[in-house]
Amino acid sequence: MTPGPQGRRLLVLVLDDDPAIRTMLAALLQQEGFDHIEAQSADEALAHLGSQPIDLVLSDVQLPGIDGIGFLERASEKCPDVPVIMMTAFGERQRLVSAIKLGAFDYLDKPFTLTSLREALHRAAGRRRVQRARKAEALERGRLESLLAALAGAGNLDDLMRRVTVELPPALDVRGFAVYLVAEADLSCIGGRDEEGLRSLASRCLLTCLPASEGSSLAIPLLAGMEPIGVLVVERELPIEGPAASEPRTGWTRYSPSDQRLLARAAGHLAAAIASRSALEELQDTGLRMARDAALEQAAQAARQLARPLASLASAVRDAEGHLTTDPQRARARLEEARAAIDELRRELDTLTRDE
């Protein structure tokens, strides 16, 4: 088997107007682990290029209508990354030069040996795999960078989840997700769609701290250090690609190796972001509690400091009011005491103001 993207076999387009040549090539491709599609004209081959995930092309130069050179020119514009191997007959050297200039990956002189055909096919397959790997890595970096930028700009945990809701589905190419955090003996959903099936899968994942899958859903543990703090559950539906894909894929098999790495890395960064935001919020809560307790203690101290002069003032005023008519001299004395209490109260207030 010659694996291609998403684990499927590489798909080769065979373009030749001779049925016998197509049959011979099809048998060899099957033997070498390739899937194939046949076309007897350039127009038919170009239609396949536009509708099928073609990985390699084997094309004859001599074709009715649009010849192999014309096909190569159009194919290079439509799918520049797909290697094209040209099959040429004796006396077509000038056309071969044109094919090389247009970007043909390789050529085979008819009649060619099966060994030379095998070697050309596997060289082209190697190049295609390298191209796919580079594209996947670039796409992975871009998608991860977009998600990380969103995570880094989040303030608190609520803001983080709002950003995750927007950025995570397109970044990971999933149709839905849920984020669960460990809350004592249970799981608390803090983002995405909370459903019984997703929660059950998340619980199963948490028991082993390993990815777990069920149908179209995949659960990945969120680890802070070695400690599980939660679970990321994602859902994906992928179209079946290529003629060899006959059974639906579930769990990890829905994801290419590149996507598996991306999911694992995204889960790691999400866990770190959640842990840091949770720690920050806990620290902020602790600071607020400490500030509140300090303010209450300061208020209590102020009340204690003001209690004595206020009590003296109240007593002096009440006594003065009671002697205004019966004993004016005593009333004046008590008013003097009230003024002294007011002065003391002012001093205490000045002291408290300076302490602030």
Residues 11 and 125 in one domain: yes
Inside any domain, residue 140? no
pLDDT value of residue 173? 77
Provide the residue-wise pLDDT of the chain in tens; the chain has 356 residues.
454 444 568 899 999 999 999 999 999 999 988 999 999 999 999 999 989 989 999 999 888 899 888 999 999 888 888 999 988 875 666 666 777 777 888 888 888 888 898 899 989 888 888 887 777 777 666 766 777 777 777 777 788 788 888 888 887 778 888 999 887 778 888 888 888 889 999 999 888 888 888 887 888 888 887 788 889 998 876 543 433 344 444 445 556 666 677 778 888 888 887 777 654 444 344 444 554 555 556 656 665 666 666 666 666 666 666 666 677 777 677 667 767 767 776 676 666 555 55
Residues 161 and 275 in one domain: yes
Inside any domain, residue 285? no
pLDDT value of residue 310? 63
User: Are residues 352 and 307 in contact, defined by beta-carbon separation less than 8 angstroms?
Assistant: no
CA dist., res. 20 & res. 236, Å (int): 43
Residues 49 and 90 in one domain: yes
**Residues whose CB is less than 8 angstroms from the CB of residue 25 and which lie 6 or more positions away in sequence, other chains included:** 14, 16, 36, 58, 117
SS3 state at 40: coil
What six digits make up the tokens of 300? 């209590």
User: Are residues 146 and 167 in contact, defined by beta-carbon separation less than 8 angstroms?
Assistant: yes
Q: How many CB atoms lie within 10 A of CB 152?
A: 11
Inside any domain, residue 286? no
Q: Report DSSP state, residue 3.
A: B
- Which among 244, 1, 37, 261 has a CA at the least distance from the CA of 125? 1
Residues 194 and 110 in one domain: no
pLDDT value of residue 58? 93
Q: Report DSSP state, residue 10.
A: P
Residues 276 and 301 in one domain: no
Inside any domain, residue 233? yes
Residues 18 and 125 in one domain: yes
The boundaries of the domain holding residue 296 are: 291-355
pLDDT value of residue 281? 46
**Which of 135, 162, 190 is the last residue in one of the domains?**
135
Residues 186 and 100 in one domain: no
Inside any domain, residue 141? no
pLDDT value of residue 1? 43
Residues 176 and 263 in one domain: yes
pLDDT value of residue 247? 42
User: Are residues 76 and 88 in contact, defined by beta-carbon separation less than 8 angstroms?
Assistant: no
**Which of 280, 313, 344 is the last residue in one of the domains?**
280
Inside any domain, residue 147? no
Q: How many domains does the chain have?
A: 3
Q: How many CB atoms lie within 10 A of CB 49?
A: 21
User: Are residues 287 and 280 in contact, defined by beta-carbon separation less than 8 angstroms?
Assistant: no
What CATH number did the domain enclosing 183 receive? 3.30.450.40
SS3 state at 39: strand
Which pTM value belongs to this model? Answer: 0.47
Inside any domain, residue 12? yes
Residues 332 and 244 in one domain: no
Residues 176 and 247 in one domain: yes
What CATH number did the domain enclosing 107 receive? 3.40.50.2300
Beta bridge partners of 307: none
Residues 296 and 254 in one domain: no
Residues 199 and 256 in one domain: yes
HSE-CB at 36 with a 13 A cutoff on CA atoms is 22
Inside any domain, residue 42? yes
CA dist., res. 236 & res. 142, Å (int): 20
Distance of CA 98 to the CA centre of its chain: 45
**Which of 258, 280, 302 is the last residue in one of the domains?**
280
Q: What DSSP letter does each residue of 146-213 carry, written as one string?
A: HHHHHHHT--SHHHHHHHHHHHHHHHHT-SEEEEEEEETTEEEEEEE---HHHHHHHHHHHHHTS-EE
- Which among 149, 101, 103 has a CA at the least distance from the CA of 266? 149
